[in-house]
Amino acid sequence: MTVSYPSPRTILPHSYPFILIDKIIEFDKGKRIVCLKNVTINEEFFNGHFKENPIMPGVLIIEAMVQTSGLIICGEKPTIMYLSRINNAKFKRKVIPGDQLIINSSLVQSFHPLYVFEAVVYVKGEVVSEAEISLSLS
């Protein structure tokens, strides 16, 4: 059975061109989430990063983790959250056009208004990046 989830665009306060996830593929509200992003050669940043050697910038992979994590605590309507800390970020492999990012995030601890998540990004089953993300609601 396939469950369909709402589009991240309807939940996140972000909009074009800064939505870095395409869809939700698994969602256990308030606990964990898995999102997907297809990385294509048409992405604006590939024009300059780098012209002859397109690689997705690590900071944008982090942003994808942040948005994915934000979805866990967002309600039905867009809520603004602020990134408050990034810990132990690692980039293990290059992300290039054609890759499909599978972004996992789980809530590890919360103390309103602060929330800590552990996020891991996979491409073809291999870890490309991981980080501990802290978000603050307001």
Catalytic positions: 49
Question: Cα–Cα distance between 69 and 104 in angstroms, integer?
Answer: 8
- Of residues 47, 87, 98, 127, which one binds another protein by CB under 8 A? 87
Q: How far is the CB of 100 from another protein (least distance, A)?
A: 30
Question: Cα–Cα distance between 109 and 116 in angstroms, integer?
Answer: 5
| Contact flag: residue 30 with another protein (CB under 8 A) | no
User: Which positions ≥6 away from 116 have C-beta within 8 Å?
Assistant: 107, 108, 109, 110, 132, 133, 134
| Contact flag: residue 85 with another protein (CB under 8 A) | yes
Nearest to 7 by CA among 28, 39, 35: 35
Stretch of 16-24, 59-67, 72-80, 107-115 contacting another protein, by CB under 8 A: 107-115
Q: How far is the CB of 136 from another protein (least distance, A)?
A: 8
Q: How far is the CB of 43 from another protein (least distance, A)?
A: 31
Nearest to 133 by CA among 76, 90, 88, 80: 88
Binding site for another protein (CB under 8 A): 84-85, 87, 108-109, 111, 114, 116, 132, 134, 136
